[in-house]
């Protein structure tokens, strides 16, 4: 399967924000996986690295477009900090239900004030994924989104983490914005535990691939 690497923007400090895409833009199913939003929560990047290395889903290439973004916060990853180089929590910087927050969840000067969140915003509106998986830490669960939750429920079964509705609905979060802006899609957060071993990384990769296969199965049936 052909793989396309694209710089979708740059961080505050000029580091490239990279997406790696396999499959055509007009695929029947479009999946986006984001490895890290907070620079202090990087275990999901181990899953995205393996997805990129595998470069294939066991499906006809015309059926699935998989876009992988290792991180939207390379400056935070470089320093091990939650926020970006401006100290902004990027998962509080998206437009839906944005509000001014200070401290460790500083939400920025306004919605999409940061180049990293603007790049992710553009990518999602351009590719319009059917499913988006945002990896975070450290709670060890899959956060059940409001509204549609089929993909989140199935992913929780496949990766072996409980499906839980977290009591807080975070203002300005990427997944809540996407579900509001693109109601046909399903974006959800996977909270990996604080310590992530190789077995869990392997389950995460397999869960993405199996979820894609199952969601694409109606298209497979039509194609057959």
Give, for all 224 residues of the chain, the pLDDT tens digit.
Answer: 568 899 999 999 999 999 999 888 788 899 999 999 999 999 999 999 999 988 555 556 568 999 999 999 999 999 999 999 999 999 999 999 999 999 999 999 999 999 999 999 999 999 999 999 999 999 999 999 988 899 999 999 999 999 999 877 889 999 999 999 999 999 999 999 999 999 999 999 999 999 998 998 764 444 33
Which domains does the chain possess? Answer: 3-197 (3.40.630.10)
pTM of the model: 0.93
Q: Which pair of structure tokens corresponds to residue 183?
A: 């109601």
105 three-class SS: helix
Burial class (CB in 10 A: 0-12, 13-18, 19+), 72: buried
Residues 23 and 65: beta-carbon distance below 8 Å? yes
CA distance 48 to 182: 24
């Amino acid at each position: 399967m052909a793989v396309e690497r694209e710089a979708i923007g740059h961080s505050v400090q000029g580091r490239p924000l990279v997406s790696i895409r396999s499959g055509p833009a007009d695929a029947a199913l479009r999946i986006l996986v984001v490895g890290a939003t907070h620079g202090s929560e990087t275990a999901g990047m181990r899953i995205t690295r393996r997805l990129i290395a595998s470069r294939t889903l066991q499906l006809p290439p015309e059926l699935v477009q998989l876009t992988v973004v290792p991180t939207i916060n390379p400056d935070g990853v470089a320093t091990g900090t939650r926020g970006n180089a401006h100290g902004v929590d990027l998962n509080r910087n998206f437009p839906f239900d944005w509000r001014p927050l200070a401290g460790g969840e500083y939400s920025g000067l306004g919605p999409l004030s940061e180049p990293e969140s603007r790049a992710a915003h553009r990518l999602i509106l351009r590719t319009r994924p059917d499913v988006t998986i945002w990896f975070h830490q450290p709670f060890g669960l899959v956060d059940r989104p409001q509204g549609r939750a089929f993909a989140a429920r199935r992913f929780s079964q496949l990766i072996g983490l409980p499906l839980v509705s977290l009591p807080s609905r975070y203002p300005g979060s990427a997944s809540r914005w996407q579900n509001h802006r693109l109601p046909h899609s399903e974006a959800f957060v996977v909270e990996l535990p604080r310590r992530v071993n190789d077995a869990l990384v392997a389950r995460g990769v397999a869960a993405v691939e199996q979820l894609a296969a199952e969601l694409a199965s109606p298209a497979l049936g039509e194609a057959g």
